[in-house]
Amino acid sequence: MSPSSTRPFLNEGITPVIPSRGSIGDADITLASHVGATMMYEWKVTVNSKVMPAAEALKTKNIKPLVPQGKEGMNGNVAPFLAQTVNSHPLLGLQEAAAEFRSTLKGSYLW
């Protein structure tokens, strides 16, 4: 996210709501995803100490939604979904979710 895309948030006093609990692994991915989601009119924000849907707040302040474009997600890394990767984490449901990702990607150029 560039400074020019975050400037309207700062100027209008819009603060994305960030969960207080994240995930194991990449430390800032949970934070960044919620900031990005609010910029795309999803999730929730705080404006003047009031929590509201991001779309409502941004429309009120006449801020256009961010339209995501391919970057890291194209030609992505499948290593986080490999069985040998997820089997080292004792998180309930992780192995099943990773298997579902692998199944979805079967036949993909990524695999």
pLDDT digits (tens, 9 = 90+) for 5-43: 678 887 889 999 988 776 666 556 777 888 889 999 999
pLDDT digits (tens, 9 = 90+) for 37-62: 999 999 999 999 999 999 999 999 99
Rg of the chain over all Cα atoms, to the nearest angstrom: 17
pLDDT at 72 > cutoff 70: no
pLDDT at 73 > cutoff 60: no
pLDDT at 91 > cutoff 70: yes
pLDDT at 97 > cutoff 80: yes
What pLDDT is attached to residue 4? 63
What pLDDT is attached to residue 55? 96
